[in-house]
Structure 1
């Protein structure tokens, strides 16, 4: 059985840890509110813009100017993986990295064997994970979440888009956590470039869509499509940001509860140990008194 001093030290240590996890939960809750507001405001705009992008791309599918929809034989692949900068958020990061690994193994194993799979890691955790596994990393975006803004994400989006235009990549996929609620994040794997074709259901729903291009289709392709693609990546980063704070809040709440349960067990152990020590001392005193009485 542990000594009273050891149990007391553990109680103090776990109590300090509980205070830290409780504070981290409160900080995550405050950040979550702002991040959740940002993504809720962004979703309708991004979804509508993505719908227009899909329609415009379909209309211009045969146009040489719509390079973002050009299908190629997939030889070189870029995977954009959005993680967080810090841990202590449960399985948030590991789920994304597992999904990226699974995507590579199941879909791009031949490209990986040829060394033609690159990773664009947005977030320190993803950058460290894929660096240790000797993947080629496109750019360094480990500080995006320090001051998250569209301008900072736009740089990563433009690098990926330029790589596709120049033929450095034949396919670009996006892996990130979509925010559902505080306790639930959904890992999404989406095709970024070339722009995916609409499904039959989407085509039927937009069958009556008719656009008047002003000033010209070419200018729409040059301006609207790049902007829509940048918004798509920015939305994914906002989704991941909200998901991170939700996951951390949930993880810290659970850690605080676990610390409380452990403290109860330790205090019970402490009281039992203390009671046993007191009983032992009483028995020793009684035994000593009886020994003195017998010796007289």
Structure 2
């Protein structure tokens, strides 16, 4: 049985940990509110921009040539993985890493065996995980969450589009967590490049739309295509940021509850140990007194 001093030290340690987890939960809750507001404001714009691009493309009479639409034989693959910079957020990062590995094994196993799968890491945890696994990792934008602004995410999207246009990659996929609520995050593995026309949208919308383009169709689509990709990546980063704070808030809440349960158990052990020590001392005193009487 542990001594009273050891149990007291454990109680002090768990109590300190509980105070830390409570503080981290409050910080995560405050950050979540801001992150949730940002993503709720971004979603309608991103969805409308995507619809606009689909309907304009469907209603156009000619196909606008763009290097971002080039469909090539898949040899070199880039996967954009959005994780967090810090841990203590439950299975948030682990689930993204598992989903990415599953995507590679199921879809790009041949390319991976040749060493032609590269990771574009947004967030330090993902970069560290895939470096340990021996993947080629682009770490130029791992710190986006420390400077989370559209202009910085735009630079990352422009770099990805530039590399794809120059033929460095044949396909680009995006893996991230979509925020649903505090306790739920939905993992998405979405194609990013090349841009593939939505045949369903074309079949349904094409007869119904008749656009007048100003200045002209080519310039408008040439502007819309890169902008929609930048917004798509920015939305993924905002979704992941809100998901991270929700996951951390949930994890810290659970940790606080666990610490409370552990404190109850330790205090019970402490009281029993103290009672046993007092009983032992009383028995020793009584035994000593009896010995003196017999002397």
**Alignment match, 2:172:** 172
**Alignment match, 2:105:** 105
**Alignment match, 1:44:** 44
Instruction: Output the CA distance in 2 between the equivalents of 1:27 and 1:235.
Output: 23
Preserved CA contact (<8 Å) 2:104 2:112: yes
TM-score, with length taken from structure 1: 0.95
Superposition pairs of residues 1-296 of structure 1, within 5 angstroms: 1-58=1-58, 63=63, 65-198=65-198, 200=200, 203-204=203-204, 208-295=208-295
**3-state SS in 2 of match to 1:65:** coil
- Cα distance, 1:204 vs. partner? 3.1
Preserved CA contact (<8 Å) 2:59 2:211: no
Q: Once the two structures are superposed, what CA deviation does each residue of 1:217-266 show, in whole Å capped at 9, x if it has no partner?
A: 11012211111110000000000000000000000000000000000000
Could you list the runs of 5+ residues in structure 2 that have no partner in the other structure?
none
Instruction: Output the CA distance in 2 between the equivalents of 1:27 and 1:207.
Output: 52
Could you list the runs of 5+ residues in structure 1 that have no partner in the other structure?
none
CA 1:236–1:169: 2 relative to 1, 3 Å: same
Preserved CA contact (<8 Å) 1:144 1:152: yes
- Cα distance, 1:179 vs. partner? 0.1
- Cα distance, 1:61 vs. partner? 9.8
- Cα distance, 1:3 vs. partner? 0.4
Instruction: State how many pairs are aligned.
Output: 295
Preserved CA contact (<8 Å) 1:39 1:239: yes
Q: Once the two structures are superposed, what CA deviation does each residue of 1:132-161 show, in whole Å capped at 9, x if it has no partner?
A: 122112341121111210011111101111
- Cα distance, 1:65 vs. partner? 2.0
